[in-house]
Homo-oligomer: A and B are copies of this chain.
């Protein structure tokens, strides 16, 4: 499905508006969406609804027949709401959460302050805002299948000088055992999505991802990275949306092949224990460093169950655990301590120049 087409084709638009393919009814009332169909707020809401549904269906296809997503549609007093889809304790997925939220209201001062420290400049105190995003964390059962996380979001903040808008997001992979072919496939899929829009994006956002997903106190990355960006407002709104849409559409081709490839790989107690320890590290990152989690939890009346769906079903902390030298676990650690240039762009560049 190409999104632009849908917009211009009224008949198709009508079909989209029937929502039959979504996980639940959109958050914004239908007549409002129809009236403002060209507004970026509408475009973003329908895009994240579609991405959520497509991804949930793709995951369910890999599961046993009776393992289905539970769907919770929720609203918040201050405005907006979300749809939280969770599949728990499946045979293939131990915990899979795919969430969309569409919220508006007055920006909490703490949130405005946090945005300011990241370079945003707002004039005024009680700032009306709009935020729409999709986010997912998939924790498979088999330790040979990596965990994936992605999040794509659109912000509008209104101050005295008008509306400021920007997109943020990213997709990143957290393997328990390193498979270099998988990492290359994953990064290459993301690079293709980026390259269609700006040749400079992939390498910039790949580095940003490595920097962001750092468990600082341990001096290690959470996984093998991907892409991450926080403030895309170039070259124009429609192009930026189109880029974010491409990234979101790249999630399935980047990840589902890895699930299919490894979901029946053999493993034992040792590999499961290592996976649980790494899931402990995942919890450390999410609760100590992740800005999205903190932003969410510190928002009054936050739906914490949706925010914390990212946490694994099971996690483990062993005092002073140290993988043995030259073990597969040790191999993973060396990549987490020293991020790799998976597509060897520098090298390729050196060769061709």
Report which A residues bind B (CB closer than 8 A). 70, 72, 86, 88, 95, 97, 216-218, 276, 280, 283-284, 287-288, 294, 297-298, 302, 304-305, 307-309, 311-320
CB atoms of A304 and B95 under 8 A apart: no
Question: Known contacts being A72-B320, A315-B314, is A297 close to B308, with CB within 8 Å?
Answer: no
Contact assessment for A315 and B315 in the assembled complex, using a CB-CB cutoff below 8 Å:
yes
B317 close to A308 (CB less than 8 A): yes
List B contacts of A313 (CB < 8 A): 316-318
Residues of B within 8 A of A311 (CB): 280, 317
- Give min CB distance, A164 to chain B, whole Å: 28
Counted per complex, copies of this chain come to 2
Q: Given the complex of chains A and B, what is the CA–CA distance between A75 and B311 in angstroms?
A: 34
A285 nearest in chain B by CB position? B287
Complex Cα spacing A70 to B321, Å: 13
Contact between A309 and B319 (Cβ–Cβ < 8 Å)? yes
Question: B287 to A217, Cβ gap below 8 A?
Answer: no
Residues of B within 8 A of A319 (CB): 70, 86, 88, 95, 97, 305, 309
Name 19 A/B residue pairs within 8 A (Cβ), A-sorted: A70-B319, A86-B320, A88-B318, A95-B317, A97-B319, A216-B297, A217-B297, A217-B298, A217-B302, A217-B304, A280-B315, A283-B287, A284-B308, A288-B288, A312-B317, A313-B316, A313-B317, A314-B316, A315-B316
Q: Note all chain B residues with C-beta closer than 8 A to A307.
A: 217
Given A314-B315, A316-B313 in contact, is the A288-B283 Cβ separation under 8 Å? no
Residue of B nearest to A302 (CB): B217
Shortest distance between the CB of A345 and any CB in chain B (Å): 33
- Nearest CB on B from A113, distance (A): 15
Contacts of A217 in B (CB 8 A): 297-298, 302, 304, 307
Q: A216-B297, A287-B288, A311-B317 are in contact. List 7 more A-B contacts (CB 8 A).
A: A70-B319, A97-B319, A217-B304, A287-B287, A314-B316, A315-B315, A315-B316
